[in-house]
A = this chain, B = another copy of it.
Amino acid sequence: MKQPLSTHFKIGFLGAGQLARMSSLKAFELGMQIAVFSDRPENEPVQFMTPYSFSGSFDDVDAMVQFAKTCDVVTLENEFIDSSILKSVQEKSGTPIFPSPDSFSLIENKLIEKQTFENAGIPVTPYALIKSADDLKTFGDKHGWPYLLKSSKGGYDGYGNETVKSLDQAKEAFKNLGGDDNRDIIAEAFVDFTHELAVQVARNKTRHVVYPCCETVQENHINVAVKSPAQVDEKVRQRAQQLAIAATEAINGKGIFAYEFFLTKSGDLLMNESAPRPHNSGHYTIEGAIASQFENHVRAVCDLPLGSAELRKPAVVMINLLGNHKRKAVVENADEAVAEPDGHLHSYGKLESKPGRKMAHYTLLGEDMDQTFERARKLTAGIEI
C-alpha cells in the first residue's frame, strides 16, 4: 500500500452515512483525501465533504470497481454487501478492502456470525436456524416464549427482527421476514440480562487496542445513551474486553469492530451482535478517548500505528439525538447543550429529519457517572430535530 500520510493517498468509503462521515473527518486530519460510494438516491452526509462522489447499487460490482480504482484502500460503514461481491471488487480493482472480504465471509450473516464466534469459544445468545413451523415450535419449547425471530442477512436497529409470543405469531413473523421465500431465519432466545455492554476493538496488521467496556442504555428497545465505563464489576468489563479481542482475532479483523454483550442475571456474558465498522456504542470515543474509534478505524485500515483507547475523563456519556419531526434537518434548542463545558454536539449532515432517525449525538465528559448522565439527559431533553 502507498504511504498513507499523504494528500496523494485516497481512502474510499462504501456507504456515505454518519459513520463514514466521522471516519472521514479523521482521514482529513491525517492529510488524506477521501472518496465515497453511496447506494442512496438522495444526497448523503459524506457527499457534502468530497468532490469524489460515486453512486450505485451495492450489488453492482462494475460500479464499485470503478470507484475502488480511484482509491488506495477501501473500507465500509455497513455489513450488507456480500463477501463474494467485495472479493470481486478487490480483485478487479486491485485495491485492498479492509476489513477484508475473508473477514466478512466469517460474519456474512447472523447464522455464520454466531457459528464463527461459537467456534472461537465465545458464548453467544442461544439460537437456531429455523426451516419450518416444527423448528419454530421446537425452539419455543426448548428456550421458552417469547423469543426473537431475525432475518439472517440485513436488518439493524430492530428492523428485520420480530418478537414472537406464540406459535401462531411465530408462523406469521417467519412469513413476514421472508422465511417462506427461502430467506434464512434464525430464532434467538430472550436473555434475562441486567446490562447491555459493548466493546470496540481496533486491529491493524500487527496489533490491537481495545476500548473500555461501555454500557448501552435502552428505552423501548431503542439505544438512547451510552455510559463509559460500564457501571458493572471491573472483572466483567475485563472479560468483555477479552471476548471482544478474541472475536476480532477469530475473523482476522483489520479495522474497527464493535461487540455487544448481554450481562445475564447469573453474571455471564453472551455476545449478542457484532459490527465490523464504527458503531453507535463507540461514538463517545470522539472526545471521550484519546484516539476515537473513527481515528483508529482509519489508522487500522491504512496500516498506521494505532492510537490510545484510554478515557480522557472518569465518566463519559453519549446521548443519541433522534429526529422528532419530519422536516428539513435542523437542530433546535441546543444552546445550553452546546455551551456546556466539555459537552460536544455532533450533527450528521443529513438533509431530512424523521421521527426516530439518528440525526446527531451529544457527548458529555465528567468526573462522576451518575451526575454526568443526569446532566447530559437534562441538557439534551429539550433538543428538537
Contact = CB atoms under 8 A, between A and B. Distances in A.
A330 B8 CA distance: 8
B7 A350 contact: yes
Nearest to A348: B31
A53 to B, nearest CB: 7
Interface residues of A, number: 49
B7 A341 contact: no
A5 B350 CA distance: 11
Contacts of A49: 28, 49-50
Interface string A333-372: 0110011011001111111000000001000000000000
A48 interface: yes
A167 interface: no
Contacts of A299: 338
A29 interface: yes
Nearest to A365: B290
A25 interface: yes
Contacts of A345: 5, 29-30
Interface stretch (A83-91, A117-125, A262-270, A304-312): A304-312
A329 B7 contact: yes
Interface string A1-42: 001011110000000000001000100111111100000000
A21 B53 CA distance: 19
A32 B360 CA distance: 12
B349 A7 contact: yes
A312 to B, nearest CB: 7
Contacts of A50: 48-51
A332 interface: yes
A331 interface: yes
Given A347-B30, A360-B31, A328 B48 contact: no
B25 A29 contact: yes
A5 B51 contact: no
A341 B312 CA distance: 12
Contacts of A347: 5-7, 29-31
A306 B339 CA distance: 6
A216 interface: no
A151 interface: no
Interface in A28-87: 28-34, 45, 47-51, 53
A348 to B, nearest CB: 6
B33 A349 contact: yes
Nearest to A33: B48
B25 A331 contact: no
Given A5-B330, A51-B51, A305 B335 contact: yes
A35 to B, nearest CB: 10
29 contacts: A3-B332, A5-B334, A6-B329, A6-B330, A6-B331, A6-B347, A7-B48, A7-B329, A8-B328, A8-B330, A8-B351, A25-B25, A25-B29, A29-B345, A29-B346, A30-B345, A30-B346, A31-B347, A31-B349, A31-B360, A34-B48, A49-B50, A50-B51, A51-B51, A299-B338, A307-B338, A308-B341, A310-B341, A312-B312
